[in-house]
Chain A
Amino acid sequence: DVKVTQSSRYLVKRTGEKVFLECVQDMDHENMFWYRQDPGLGLRLIYFSYDVKMKEKGDIPEGYSVSREKKERFSLILESASTNQTSMYLCAIQRGLAGVGQYFGPGTRLTVT
């Protein structure tokens, strides 16, 4: 079974705090993705990575950064959390560039107050 874990299911942070969301996979897949999911908007891609120390901006990277120091771990960083970053954050993995289907972690519901 594919296993993608995220560090927290629920998280509450204050405006201006630095927030780290961690994603770990045990499938040795090269490709990892961070999305946020908001009602009526669907999943939107924040950042993705196709290899260690490699990162590419997605469609909504503003206010976020990422880190991939090891193949199995992909971290999403909110440098200074704001209330409009309250959302569900989902990590996904994919085998290869043309891999069929992405596998998602359970998600982290982040509330910024």
Chain B
Amino acid sequence: GQNIDQPTEMTATEGAIVQINCTYQTSGFNGLFWYQQHAGEAPTFLSYNVLDGLEEKGRFSSFLSRSKGYSYLLLKELQMKDSASYLCAVRETSGGYNKLIFGAGTRLAVHP
């Protein structure tokens, strides 16, 4: 079956670093995505990992270990505007089609 776990809520201080973890169990793994979603808005694509290792994109980095079924999103130099939900999603290939399976999301609150 499919199972994606991430913490429900996290808090952090402006200027700090925060790591949001995601663990997954799925068949037909074909990539892992992170999305950011501000309250009342649509999710926006942040990062994509298909091979093990770290992908860096500015203040945001994402790490994947396929053998451990584990990923994290690292946010550096936190800003108030980073307060949002962060969604971990696994792309699964099944029946010749690709589907995204989403975790419930981690709500991050950044405080001054």
On A, residues with C-beta under 8 Å from B are 33, 35, 40-45, 48, 50, 56, 58, 90, 97-98, 100-107
Contacts and interface: CB of A to CB of B under 8 A. Distances in A.
Contacts of A97: 97-98
B42 A98 contact: no
Contacts of A41: 104
Contacts of B105: 42
Given A42-B102, A44-B102, A101 B41 contact: no
Given A50-B97, A98-B98, A104-B42, A42 B103 contact: yes
Contacts of A40: 8, 104
Contacts of A104: 42-44
B100 interface: yes
B48 A101 contact: yes
Contacts of B33: 101
Contacts of B44: 104
B104 A56 contact: no
23 contacts: A35-B102, A41-B104, A42-B102, A42-B104, A42-B105, A43-B102, A45-B99, A45-B101, A48-B99, A50-B97, A56-B97, A90-B42, A90-B43, A98-B98, A100-B45, A101-B33, A101-B48, A102-B100, A103-B45, A104-B42, A104-B43, A105-B42, A106-B41
Contacts of B100: 33, 43, 45, 102
Contacts of B103: 42
Contacts of B78: none
A97 B92 CA distance: 11
B64 interface: no
Interface string B14-51: 00000000000000001101000000011111001000
Closest 5 CB pairs of A and B: A101-B45, A104-B42, A42-B104, A43-B102, A42-B102
A107 B97 contact: no
Contacts of B30: 98
With most chain B CB atoms within 10 A of its CB, the pick from A41, A44, A58, A104 is A104
Contacts of A43: 43, 87, 89, 100, 102
